[in-house]
Amino acid sequence: MSEEQPKQDHRSRPDSENFRAFIAADWAERDLSGVRPLEAAQYAAPRRTALAEKFPEQTLVVPAGGLKVRSNDTDYVFRPHSAFAHLTGLGADREPDAVLVIRTGEAGSEPEAVFYFRPMAARDSEEFFADSRYGEFWVGPRPVEEDIRRELGLDARHVDRLEADLAADADRLRVVPDADRDVTELVRRVRGDAADDASATERDDELAHACSVLRLVKDDWEADQMREAVRATGRAFDAVIENLDEAVRRGRGERWVEGVFGLHARHAGNGVGYDSIVASGDHANTLHWIRNTGDLDPNELLLLDAGVELDSLFTADVTRTLPIGGTFTDAQRKVYDAVYAAQEAGIAAVKPGNKFGDVHAAAIRVIAEHLHEWGLLPEGVSVEDTLAPEGQYHRRWMVHGTSHHLGIDVHDCALARREEYMGAELVPGMCLTVEPGLYFKADDLKVPEEFRGIGVRIEDDVLVTGDGCENLSGFMPRTSADVEAWMKRLRG
Ligand code: GLY
Ligand code: MN
Ligand code: MN
């Protein structure tokens, strides 16, 4: 489950019998009275029932994953697999090495769920004082079985029992295969899979796929989590603007902005939902610019694509493109207003009955129209020509798609098939981004000089409603004039 730790024999640890007896003694009993049911857990139960309906009379294994070594004896902060988080309600850094097992009965019956995990060891154990990865002296108290029962309302067992318990269900096991290599191997061993057993792999992939598409439509609690993630993101953007002058002054201002946003994300929630893209000037034309090493120049734009992830792991994903000096130049405004018009068209297309792909079609048409009007498409190519599959010249300046599903993963429901994603009808409860952009690289000889080095994206998070959508991030200024007023207000 966890990756192997290197041996640390250069460090000295007290090891005498006397010491062991001494350190194990005279600790107060842990008080469990403060352990409360986790609100998110009550929403996880109906999700398990919905999943069970797809796999009657089977045993579904959903691992959290293990700690991952960053270097030597330090690990990355733990982040559970999204399917595990969704089906247990646990978020933040919980619970390395845990495995949710769902035993389903006949179609329509309630499944049984058991939570296997590594409980905190007793005070007379080696782990207590000597294990820097799991020990109470090192990482603080961790849950015991009773904590999990109270928090999640699930039967909780030591993970050491997993293999024996799964062996009893060997002919009906499926595992989410990409969550924890060791658990996947354990399941394959218990099932006795042949090395080249494609059908076993396929069955596991079906489970992973079902867990992913289970998140396509958010329940009311998930929608509220998204609202909260976006609200916190709005506050973090405000803080960035308040700190922008200092970021310019200090040099390496992209990093300063990354830090300010990260501070607020970490304070309000679990952290950033993905590495913040802090891209000034021509850096905005590198779509995943996360190096963030640049200075901020008041004559340029700053594209900030960042989102706060709550402790529940639901994340926002918002982009605003800001004139660092406070006012757009004519060329910057021209590009910005084109992207805004495309985004408006995209947002207007977010409504039940439309397909997911219609949002992109609506936005990209407006992008193509502007590029045509500006004379940037090849000679003689009309808007319809470029929109045709054999054209697509306009995509030189917006190679990415307009939308993706959003939730526990920033690119949520990633295992959904094309007909469940691009080709699917939008239904209330779906949460997606609308994020057109235009990217004119500094060395792009096909665009006029005044456009070179300008990159603009505007990204909002929308929730499909009964008759359209709620723009969750719509409270953050979007038009060029409103963005200027926003900056003026916060910078004085
Ligand atoms: N921040 C990644 C994206 O917008 O999809
Ligand atoms: Mn996005
Ligand atoms: Mn984004």
CA distances from 292 to 16, 51, 250, 252 (A): 51, 41, 14, 8
User: How many Cβ atoms are within 10 Å of 274's Cβ, its own excluded?
Assistant: 17
What is the spatial distance between Cα 195 and Cα 446, in angstroms, rounded to a whole number? 53
303's tokens = 């594209």
Both structure tokens of 320: 């605003």
Give the max Cα distance, the chain.
Answer: 89
Q: From the CB of 435, is ligand 1 less than 6 Å away?
A: yes
Ligand 2 centroid to Cα of residue 434, in Å, is 8
Q: Which residue has the tokens 């006795």?
A: 192
pLDDT tops 80 at residue 359: yes
Confidence grade of residue 12 (pLDDT, cut at 50, 70, 90): confident
Nearest residue CA, atom 4 of ligand 1? Answer: 317
Reported as a single tens digit per residue, the pLDDT across 243-298 is 999 999 999 999 999 999 999 999 999 999 999 999 999 999 999 999 999 999 99
Q: Is the pLDDT of residue 3 over 80?
A: no
- Report how far ligand 3's centroid is from the alpha carbon of 308 (Å): 11
DSSP annotation string for 304-365: EEE-EEPTT--B--EEEEEETTSS--HHHHHHHHHHHHHHHHHHHT-STTSBHHHHHHHHHH
pLDDT at 7 over 90: no
Q: Helices 198-213 and 39-54: crossing angle, nearest 10°?
A: 140
CA 165, 170, 173, 175 dihedral sign is positive
Neighbour-count burial of 119, counting CB atoms closer than 10 A to its CB (0-12 exposed, 13-18 middle, 19+ buried): middle
Q: Please enumerate in sequence order all residues whose Cβ is within 8 A of that of 336, keeping only pairs 6 or more positions apart, or say none.
A: 301, 321, 328, 456, 458, 480, 483
Q: For 159-209, what is each residue's pLDDT tens digit?
A: 999 999 999 999 999 999 999 999 999 999 999 999 888 999 999 999 999
317 lines ligand 1 (CB under 6 A): yes
State whether the beta carbon of 305 lies less than 6 angstroms from ligand 1: yes
pTM over 0.85? The answer is yes
Q: Ligand 1 pocket test: which of 272, 305, 360, 434 has the largest number of ligand atoms within 8 Å of its C-beta?
A: 305
Give the ligand 1 atom nearest the CA of 435: 4
Strand arrangement of the beta sheet that strand 301-306 belongs to: 277-280, 301-306, 318-323
Q: Token pair of 106, please?
A: 């006949």
Question: By three-state DSSP, how is residue 84 classified?
Answer: helix
CA distances from 202 to 57, 87, 124, 197, 414 (A): 18, 21, 45, 9, 17
Does ligand 1 lie within 6 Å of residue 129's CB atom? no
51-97 residue pLDDT tens: 999 999 999 999 999 999 999 999 999 999 999 999 999 999 999 99
439 and 455 Cβ atoms separated by less than 8 Å: yes
How many angstroms is it from 85 CA to the middle of ligand 2?
21
Measured between alpha carbons, how far is 461 from 237 in angstroms, rounded to an integer?
15
**Ligand 1 lined by 274 (C-beta under 6 Å):** yes
**Which phi and psi (to 5°) does residue 310 adopt?**
-75, 175
Give the span between the Cα atoms of 291 and 255, in whole angstroms: 8
DSSP H stretches of helix in 177-329? 181-191, 198-213, 220-242, 244-250, 253-268
- Whether pLDDT at 4 is above 60: no
Whether residue 394 contacts residue 364, with contact meaning beta carbons closer than 8 Å, is answered with: yes
| DSSP 8-state code for residue 149 | H
Token pair 């009955």 is at which residue? 353
306-323 confidence digits (pLDDT tens): 999 999 999 999 999 999
Q: Where do the domains of the chain lie, and which CATH numbers do they carry?
A: 17-214 (3.40.350.10), 220-491 (3.90.230.10)
Q: Do 40 and 89 meet the contact criterion of CB atoms below 8 Å apart?
A: yes
pLDDT value for 33: 84
Which ligand has the nearest atom to the CA of 403? 2
d(CA 387, CA 227): 34
Size of the chain in residues: 492
What pLDDT, on a 0 to 100 scale, did the predictor assign at position 6? 54
Sequence-distant contacts of 112-116: CB under 8 A, at least 24 apart: 112/155, 113/48, 113/154, 113/155, 114/154, 114/155, 114/156, 114/157, 114/165, 115/88, 115/148, 115/152, 115/154, 115/155, 115/156, 115/157, 116/156, 116/157, 116/158, 116/159, 116/161, 116/162, 116/165
For residue 76, give both structure tokens.
Answer: 């990355």
Computed on alpha carbons and rounded to an integer, the radius of gyration of the chain in Å comes to 26
The one-letter code for the residue type at 167 is: A
Per-residue pLDDT tens over the stretch 402-432: 999 999 999 999 999 999 999 999 999 999 9
Q: Looking at ligand 1, which residue's alpha carbon is closest to its atom 3?
A: 317
3-state secondary structure of 278: strand
Indicate which atom in ligand 1 lies nearest the CA of residue 459.
4
pLDDT at 195: 83
